[in-house]
Each structure stands twice: as structure tokens, then as C-alpha cells.
Chain A
Amino acid sequence: MNSDQAKPEFKRAPEMEDRIMEMHTAAMREMSEPRDGIRPTPVLFLIICFLFTMWGGYYMGTYAGDWTGNGLSERAAGPAAAGPSAPQNPMVLGAEVYNACTQCHQADGKGLAGQFPPLADSEYVNGDVRRLAAILVNGINGELVVKGQTYNSQMPAWKDNYNDEEIAAVLTYIRSSFGNKSGPVAKSVVEAVRKEVGANGAFTSATLTEFADKK
């Protein structure tokens, strides 16, 4: 570095006539254009390439769902895929379904004061399971008194979004969460309610009471 410091730090920019020579000190000092070496391909690497290719064939053979145009499942339809699925723990399934409810009833089940009724300690949740299932199946509109408070909003019907097992699971979940300690809801209850009123529109407070008393 010492020898460099002795040299001048700057130079004058070249004038047009000897521009070519002086301007391109950078191009003149650089190394020649790159060349190719000719080392052989490592054998180990060729083996790795071979293994990857074999794996690719295996994966395509196993997970291509028989190459059908409308098969969504990556496994070909076999005995394993066709068998009945094991029943799920309703508390786990219910918690998963409950994610759809948190927008109104909130993650803690306390609802929003004046807008959405709470599930915690609610007489509807902890009361008659048939009435509770009916609310989920068809939804409910208009005024509704929960825990002495009057609410006026709309709960949508869930019959087209979830099957009986899922609705039963979420009911079981809300009946034993947020401090509630009521028992589980059987799938058959939801099934029966769906058969009875599933074709109707949303309930109101009056028609719900009528339905619950009918029994």
C-alpha cells in the first residue's frame, strides 16, 4: 500500500482524442475473458442424480392419483382410501369448526355486548339440545333475549356448510367450553332436527319457542 500512496491519487479526465487509450484503464487491467475447465463429473454426483431420478419416478407413480383429470386425492383409489374414516374427537373437530364462530361470538365465547349474544353461561347453549341444534341448522333472525339482554341481529344457517357430525361436534365444544359444563350432543340429534326443519328458512324467537315446545 505504501508504494501506492506515493502515486498521485487523481488524474485528469482524458480529452476526446486520446479517450480510447486513457479512458479504459479498467478494461486494460482486467483479466482475460473466462474459460472453461475440463474436470470430470464426480461419480458420486452422478449417483446422486440417478437416485433423484428414481425418487421422481416413485413419487409420480405413488402420488399422481392414477393420472385422472378429476381426482383430487393424490393417492390412487385403493382399499385404504375407500374405507370409512375414523370418528374424530368431537372436542378437536368442534374447536376447528368454532373458528367460523369467533367473528361474532369471539374466541372467548363472550360475544359482543349489545351486538352478538354470549355463549358462555347462555341458557340457549346449556339448555335443550334440540333447540340449540335447530339454531345452528336454520339460523335465527330478529330479537332474542339471552341472559336478560335483548339482542337484535342475524345468525346465518350452517346446514349447507357443515355436516351433522361437525355441527354436533361444535355444539359439544361450546357446551363444555367458556365455563359451560353441559353434556355432549349426539350426531343423531342434529340428524333428526335437520330432517324435521332443514327445509325451512331462519327461525325467529317466536318460531323457535314453538319448535322447542312441540316435541
Chain B
Amino acid sequence: MSEEALEMAPQGEAVSRIEVDRSAEWVVTIYWASSLFWLLIATLAGLISSVKLHSPDFLGSYEWLTFGRIRPVHWDTAIYGFGGTAASGTLLWLQARLCQTRIPFPALLIAGGVIFNVGVLLGSIGVLMGQSTGVETLEFPLYAMPLLVIPYVFIVIANFRMYFTRRSSHTYVSQWYLMAVTVWFPILVLAAEACTNLGAVDGVAQAVANWWYGHNVVGLFATPTGIAAAYYLIPKVIGKPIHSYHLSLLGFWSNAIFYNWAGTHHLTGGPLPAWTITVGVVGSMMMFIPVITIGINHHMTMLGSFHHLKTSPTLRFAVMGSMVYTLSSFQGSLESLRSHQEITHFTHYTIGHVHFGMYGFFAPLMFAMMYYAMPRLTGNEWSSARLIRIHFWCTLFGTALYAGAMCWAGIRQGQMMNDPAIPFLNIVAFTKPYLMLRTLAGLILLSGTIAFLINFVRIVQPHKLRFVTPTLLNTERDYKLLLEKEKELKQNDK
């Protein structure tokens, strides 16, 4: 080892960071790579469903691609394929970083990632073949479910192992959320499967279990992981402490207490005892407390550091995610009210809200994690700042267009449906242009995904040459030149 190398040797905290990143290299990359694959599949399935809504004959002759099959595949690959693997990779890397421990059992976790992917694939094919269970969000046939649950058990074990062998003295707020997710999610899946597909309860109680799960899979799985990522990335990139520990505490516990109750607001107007829905509405409205708390913590930390948004890709996505978290949560709480649902229930408004939350809050935070961590895991830099910019603006505009078009169409649709003087077909005709706008938004989101995929494939490829400086949004990268020089180098080496 040269003297120069010794001088450059990292010291202090950086040592543990490097150790952690080396142990995470394969595991986390595999989880994130598969999450992007499923994001592409989910986006394509979503696009097909979207086109079918305004042009019903599109691909109409393939029974595999009928709306009743392709739409569940869209949502299930989005939440399990993309969400599940992106969140698991995030969980493993963040927990390892914050505990300053290596990721344990790498072989087991990699095997888990492979099994999980096989599970999502089998489940999707099953649904496409017409074997859907018909229970929303749990459409995958029962034989696919163990393949999704068992890998998650590995992740839970690895997570606890990291936490109990941690070298850090302080437990940071992100870790609370990550620990909570690993406790909540297995309970959610098992209880929901038992109460729906396994038939522990019948009738309307099944619907309650279904929507309790349907809301919580977003609220107690995707949301805490997203919040954990935002709590980590925002102070990390701008180098300031998070605004307030007291608020973090209040936000975490109020989230834990209230979110679980919210699911039944999906069944407003259904044949349920009125109190079940009332409790759901109150649970949803009480979510204002954790949302405001988390909002203050994230936005007040950012205050005065907005100039970093010009350069840092990570921060741009993270701040977009945390801002949309506040907005979409406010929207969601108000949406649960009976007086609001009188108009928007069973309209496109709900679909607009879901995509606003998932693609405006959760997905950008997962992208931010990848933009931050992948250079550390691979030792490469992102090959193109332009592709990152395209990805960001496509994500932002695509989501805004989607949510804007669907929510507005939903409000008008609901108002018209409440007016008996308007024939139903007129309302369908009214929504058609908005449904086309949705397809356009889907295409924009797809372009962003493809831009990200190109960058992702390039960063995980083994390279002989590397960019020296980090890829910031205002840097220009010449990937072609790098490839050319690499070719020359290879010839010289021979």
C-alpha cells in the first residue's frame, strides 16, 4: 500500500460507513434493482388499464389483459413488487448505517430477495390467468403469498439483529419507524389474509378486514419507510440536525396510534354498523396531528437550505416527497369526512389521491434513497445529470398532472352523479378527456422511469474508469467519452 493511500485512509465514522456499504453492496442493490424492474411492469400495467378506460377496445381480444386482471396486477406489482423491495432495501441500508453494523446474513437476504421476486411474478401470472382472489390488494392467489411472507421474515430477523448489535450510542428517529414497520407489517399481512382469503370471518367483517389492510399497507408500511428515509436524507444532505426531537416523538406515537383506525372510511355508506365508519373518520382526521408534526420537523429543517435543491438530486426527490406527504395527507384526512365523501366517494378523486401519495410521496423518497446510496454501494457515480433531471421533472409533472386531472374530474363526476337530472352516460362522456390526460400522465411517468433505469443500469455495470466528482444536477457528464477512454485503456492493458 502506498503512503499516499495510507494518508487517504478514512478515519472515524467514515470507517463504519465504508464497512456498512461494503456489506450492503450486493444485498441492497439486488432489492433496488428488482424494485425498478417491478416499477416498470407496474407502470406498463397501469398504462394499459388507463387506456382501456377511455378506449375499451384496446387489447380487448386478450383475456389475460382484460381490465379486471391487468388493474390488480398494476396495483399489486406497484405495492409489493416496487414498494416491497424498494422499502426492504431502504430498511436494510438505513438500519445498517444508523446502527453502524454490517448487514447480517447477506446470503439469506439475497435468497429472500430472489424468493420475493418469484412470489410477485407467480402471483401476477396467477392473476393474469384469472386466479385472482378478488380481495383488493390481496389478489395474489394463496400459493404465491408464502413466497412474499417468508422473505420478509428474513428481513425482520436481520433488522432486529442489526438493532441489537448496534454500535451507535443513540437511536435516531428513522430507526423507530424502521423497527415499527418490521413489527406492523407481518401482523397486517397475516391478520388480513386470515380474515379474508382464509375465511376466518364472513360477510361484511371480511370487507372491514380488507379495507383495514388496504389502507394500512399504504399507511403502516409504505408511509413509515418513506418518513424514515426523509428523516435521514434531509438532515444528512444539508448537514443540519433535525428540527426537534420532541416533535419526532409526538409524530411517531400519534402516527402509531391513529393510522391503524383509518381504514374503514373506505366503506362509508356500506352496510356496516355506523360506529365502525365513524371511528375510521375520526382516526383519519386525527392523522392531522402526526402529519403536522412531521411536516414541521421536515420543512423547518429545510428552512434556509433550499439552495441545495439546485444541485443535489437526492435532496430534490426527498423534499418533493416530504412536501407531498404533507399535502396528500391533508387531502386524505379531509377526504374521509362523510360530507366530503358524499361527493367524492366512488369517483376518480380517490384514485387521484392514491397516486398523489404513492407517486408523489413514497416513490420520490425511494428514488432519493437510491440516488444517495447507489454511488456509495457501487463506488461509481451517476453517469448522466441530464437523465436525473428528466427523471425528476417527469416524476413531478406526471404526478401533478395525474392527481390534478383525476381529483378535478372526480369532484365534477361526484357532483353530477348526485344530480338525478343528468343521465349517467353524460357523466361518463364528461370524464373521458380527463381519463386521456391520465394516460398522458402515465406516459410522462413512464419516461421518467426509463430515464432512471438507464442511469441505474449504467451505475451497476462494472467500469474500469470512474467519474471523479459526484454527479450534481448542474454538472455535465460525458458518458460516451468515459466509454471511449475505457476502450483505449483496455487495449493498452492488452
Residues of A within 8 A of B (CB): 4, 7-14, 17-42, 45, 48-49, 52-53, 55-56, 59-60, 63-65, 67-74, 92-93, 95-96, 99, 102, 107
Contact = CB atoms under 8 A, between A and B. Distances in A.
Shortest beta-carbon contacts, A-B, top 5: A65-B274, A34-B235, A23-B379, A36-B245, A96-B420
B286 interface: yes
Interface stretch (B35-43, B151-159, B458-466): B458-466
B107 interface: no
Contact of A74 (B22, B338, B423): B338
Given A14-B379, A37-B242, A64 B420 contact: no
Contacts of A70: 273
Given A9-B468, A64-B275, 20 more contacts: A9-B482, A11-B468, A13-B463, A17-B1, A18-B2, A21-B10, A22-B5, A26-B375, A28-B18, A30-B236, A33-B13, A37-B243, A39-B243, A63-B274, A68-B275, A69-B273, A71-B274, A72-B274, A73-B274, A95-B420
A31 B235 CA distance: 9
Nearest to A10: B465
Given A9-B478, A53-B286, A26 B376 contact: yes
B330 interface: no
A64 B274 contact: yes
Given A63-B338, A95-B420, A74 B277 contact: yes
Contacts of A48: 288-289, 292
A208 B426 CA distance: 35
27 contacts: A4-B469, A9-B478, A12-B465, A13-B466, A20-B10, A22-B5, A24-B17, A27-B10, A27-B21, A33-B13, A34-B232, A36-B172, A36-B245, A37-B244, A39-B243, A39-B244, A40-B246, A45-B293, A52-B286, A60-B275, A63-B281, A68-B275, A69-B273, A73-B274, A74-B338, A99-B424, A107-B426
Contacts of A8: 468
A14 B470 CA distance: 17
Contacts of B293: 45
B465 A11 contact: yes
B375 to A, nearest CB: 4
B376 to A, nearest CB: 5
Nearest to A107: B423
B304 interface: no
A69 B238 CA distance: 53
A13 to B, nearest CB: 5
B279 A72 contact: no
Contacts of A56: 282, 285-286
Contact of B279 (A21, A53, A60): A60
Contact of A13 (B245, B379, B420, B481): B379
Given A31-B236, A95-B420, A64 B278 contact: yes
A34 B236 contact: yes
A18 B1 contact: yes
Interface string B269-304: 001111101110110011011001100100011000
B273 A72 contact: yes
Nearest to B300: A39
B244 A38 contact: yes
B97 interface: yes
A32 B241 CA distance: 10
Contacts of B274: 63-65, 71-74
Given A14-B379, A52-B289, A59-B278, A36 B237 contact: no
A27 to B, nearest CB: 4
Interface in B217-276: 231-232, 235-248, 250, 254, 271-275
Interface of B: 1-2, 5, 8-10, 13-14, 17-18, 21-22, 97-98, 168, 170, 172-174, 231-232, 235-248, 250, 254, 271-275, 277-279, 281-282, 285-286, 288-289, 292-293, 296, 300-301, 338, 375-376, 379, 381, 420-421, 423-426, 462-470, 478, 481-482, 485, 489
Contacts of A13: 379, 462-466
A22 B285 CA distance: 51
A9 B481 contact: yes
Contact of A63 (B168, B278, B420): B278
A21 B8 CA distance: 7
A28 B1 CA distance: 19
A60 to B, nearest CB: 5
Nearest to A20: B18
Contacts of B232: 34
Nearest to A36: B245
A95 B421 CA distance: 6
B18 A24 contact: yes
Nearest to B333: A52
A196 B393 CA distance: 70
Nearest to B379: A23
A60 B338 CA distance: 13
Contacts of B244: 36-41
A29 B469 CA distance: 10
A67 B463 CA distance: 66
Given A4-B469, A26-B376, A34 B241 contact: yes
Contacts of B13: 32-33
Contacts of B238: 31
B8 A92 contact: no
Contacts of A22: 5, 8
A33 B375 contact: no
A7 B235 CA distance: 29
Contacts of A32: 13, 239
Contacts of B465: 10-13
Contacts of A99: 420, 423-424
B445 to A, nearest CB: 28
B387 to A, nearest CB: 18
Contacts of B97: 33
Contact of B285 (A27, A28, A34, A52): A52
A33 B285 contact: no
Contacts of B242: 34-37
A48 B212 CA distance: 27
A195 to B, nearest CB: 29
